[in-house]
Amino acid sequence: MGETLMLRKMEVDGYEILITASEVLRPLPSSTAIEGYRVTAVISRKDGGGVVGHFLCDVIAQADVHLTLDAALDYGEREARARIASGFTG
Span 6-20, mean pLDDT? 93
d(CA 11, CA 17): 6
Residue 52 per-residue DSSP state: B
In contact, 41 and 9? CB cutoff 8 Å: no
d(CA 51, CA 2): 30
Neighbours of 55 (CB within 10 A): 11
pTM summary value: 0.85
- Give pLDDT tens digits for 27-78: 888 778 889 999 999 999 999 999 988 899 999 998 889 999 999 999 999 9
In contact, 37 and 62? CB cutoff 8 Å: no
